[in-house]
Structure 1
Amino acid sequence: MPGNAEHTHHIRLRTQQLEMNTSPAVSDDYEGKLQAAQVQLEELQKQREELERKKQELEALNGRKRQFLSSQVELTEKLSAAVTRIDRELYEMRQEMEDLEQCRVCFASHLDKLQKYNPEAWSKEQLAAHLDRATTSAELAADEYEQAAAHFSNMRSGEIFGRGKARRPGASAGGTSDFTAQFRSGLAFNLPVLVLGGIALIVYLLK
């Protein structure tokens, strides 16, 4: 009996020693896992911060992109409209220059003819014929001058004829034909008076 009690006591002592021997190892393993978890948590935090930074950068880029697209649309409309207006303006300027060149040639021709007429040097026999030609030339020159003045009245060159005006939107040469028609009607109305005046002058010179 005493021998059994002693044996049991020794067994209990060895069990306590085993528990004491294994306890530090368990503690170290727990600390290691805790540190690993802490490191992993810090890594996840860094990843989250990195993702947040990239998200903010992407939002900033998208904001800049939207701003550019808006500016692009606005500038495209402005520049397109300006290019169209410039092309139209250049075309009208070229047309005006061509018309002015033709007008100058025409006027120079009329001027040359009119300056060559010298009624004082005409004989009585040739006076009637010369006056007919001279009157016809003068009427033609006056007619073409008025046509040119009406044509350029809504253009920059209208100032040449003392009729410069600000260009109206949509203004064209359509009003020229109306003006010319009115001028010709007036000329037709006054032509008999001019003819009678010419005849009276001839009769006076022949006396």
Structure 2
Amino acid sequence: MLNTLNQPQSSALSDKLLHFTKDFETYIQDLKNILQKPKSGDISFVDFDETLYSRIPQFKKDKRFVECRGQAGIDLVYKEIGRDIFLKDYYNPDGVVKDVLSRTDVILTAGIDDLQRGKLEHSGIDKEALVVAEHKQKPKAVLKYVLKSLKSIPENITFIDDKAFDLSEEFRLLSDILQTKIILENIYLDSEKPTEVDHIDKKIFEKGKELVLS
């Protein structure tokens, strides 16, 4: 059992938490508590779009999806096509990447909450889901989930996403804060067989340091 964190250690933790949230005081005591507990188990956080479900069929069927990204894409769905029609036409259980779903504990996706949860429902996916507004908020969501929901630190945290490496520095820091191992899997789906994985690139961070993969 670790001793209670001293003042310098506490200050260092606060500085690191500031990278994720200005409201670090709501996290610091929870973090101190779980750092004194033994680590247990593994958990995976998995993206939805282009990870569990390819958008390539959408792009091929309607070129407007290629041209309209961001807010323009949202307007296309809600104002031109209609949310319910969009979900019915483009999402169903047959389109799910089952090899990835079998490795999924928690879905962590970015976008409009109502739309993302609709995609999951129409795809027949019954998993716990966290929805954040932007991709860059995902590391903070992982931190919050570990502190507030798990209330213990897993031995291994896996993050599977088609843009996982964009968050490398944030997850490296998170592995330091939690003093554990975080595995990033940058996934690429098969363009010809969208329900299959083409390949996966990996990075592994342990206690703030990147491990060299052979």
TM bin, normalised by shorter chain, reads under 0.3
- Name the TM-score, length of structure 1 as normaliser: 0.21
When Rg is computed on C-alpha atoms for both structures, the one with the higher figure is: 1
Bigger relative contact order (CA 8 A; separation at least 6): 2
